[in-house]
Amino acid sequence: MMKRIKNINLGKTRNYLKFFLFLFLISINQSVVADSIGIIKLKILDKVSSKNTELEFKIGDTVNYKNLQIKVLKCKNSEFDDDPEITAYLQVIDLNKTNNDDVFVFNGWSFASSPSINPFDHPVYDLWIIECI
């Protein structure tokens, strides 16, 4: 009788583990799908002419703006924060540079609320994240 109760409890435990594993895999799959599609809005300031330009393009696409080549690999909106944070992984290449040692002008994460954490330093342009859609 005792062996039968242990087997029933073991079966229940296995079912609970399978259920939670299933929920975990579904949540991971949804976050991967959410990251792989979407649109980002960036604002670029031309420091010479003092003109702002807003760019909107798909995540993963490469966009040329004057002599900059911009690619956004990831863009995330924080979901659990009272003050939502927008973060994006950007790669920016200056097409006028011929020195192969400095491939990227910027290659890293950028934060919409605090761009000074990882600044985009360029003599002519400044770049900000506006939103991820």
Q: Poorest-confidence range of 51-55, 59-63, 120-124?
A: 120-124
Q: What tens digit of pLDDT does each residue of 54-96 get?
A: 999 999 999 999 989 999 999 988 777 667 788 999 999 988 8
| Counted domains in the chain | 2
Per-residue tokens: 130: 């506006």
Residues 73 and 105 in one domain: yes
Per-residue tokens: 17: 């583990």
Residues 18 and 51 in one domain: no
Residues 64 and 126 in one domain: yes
Residues 43 and 104 in one domain: yes
Question: What are the backbone dihedrals phi and psi of residue 119, each rounded to the nearest 5 degrees, phi first?
Answer: -75, 150
Residues 73 and 47 in one domain: yes
Residues 6 and 60 in one domain: no
Alpha-carbon torsion (101, 118, 47, 69), positive or negative: positive
- List the domain range (segments joined by +) for residue 125: 38-132
